[in-house]
Amino acid sequence: MSLQTSKDELVIGLVSVSDRASGGVYEDKGIPALQDWLAAAITTPYRIEPRLIPDERAQIEQTLVDLVDQAGCHLVLTTGGTGPARRDVTPEATLAIGTKEMPGFGEQMRQISLQFVPTAILSRQVAVIRENDSHAALVMNLPGQPKAIKETLEGLKDADGKVLVGGIFAAVPYCIDLIGGPYIDTNPAVTTAWRPKSAQRPASTQDNA
């Protein structure tokens, strides 16, 4: 049973995967960074479902399944657990719960991060669609550091604000359209949602509120 209150309500799951943050060793920075960025970027009303969990594959899988199938999320963003270390299993858990892989997101994330650090080639972020009988969601892995989260979502711009490398979020709203989710509008000062002309709505009808 979905906890969604309206078919037009955008629901976003945020999952921070960290043994130490979930254990209280230090404060989680992933979810606050995501919340701040989404608040600046999305102009459509939305609801957040946050989760802070350890690097345990079974728990990551169950959390992602619950967010899509029970909480009714249309978009789930994870942060942490995507490197080559033994405990980094977020990509494996994400692939396990997906019904379609979306490799372009991971490819673009690495291209963006490589503009800043050569070790970006070690990242293993993936994205998938999870579908059930009545609902579908886009699930994406993001980096663990707040600065890298912003760069990945927003892309790389020059001093005048011209986009040099496109961020991944520009493609997210149209992806959500295609899987039957609510229309997402964005703040162009942060990121511009790209859609073909046939999929664009007049400004007066874009707000689902």
d(CA 158, CA 147): 16
pLDDT digits (tens, 9 = 90+) for 21-78: 888 878 899 999 999 999 999 999 999 999 999 999 999 999 999 999 999 999 999 9
Residue ranges in the chain whose pLDDT is less than 50: 1-5, 204-209
Mean pLDDT in the chain? 91
Domain boundaries, the chain: 10-198
| Entry pTM | 0.91
Q: How far apart are CA 186 and CA 169, in angstroms?
A: 10
For the CA atoms of 24, 29, 35, 41, the dihedral, rounded to the nearest 10 degrees, stands at -170
Q: Phi/psi class of residue 128: alpha, beta or left (left: φ > 0; alpha: ψ in -120 to 50)?
A: beta
Q: What is the CATH code for 10-198?
A: 3.40.980.10
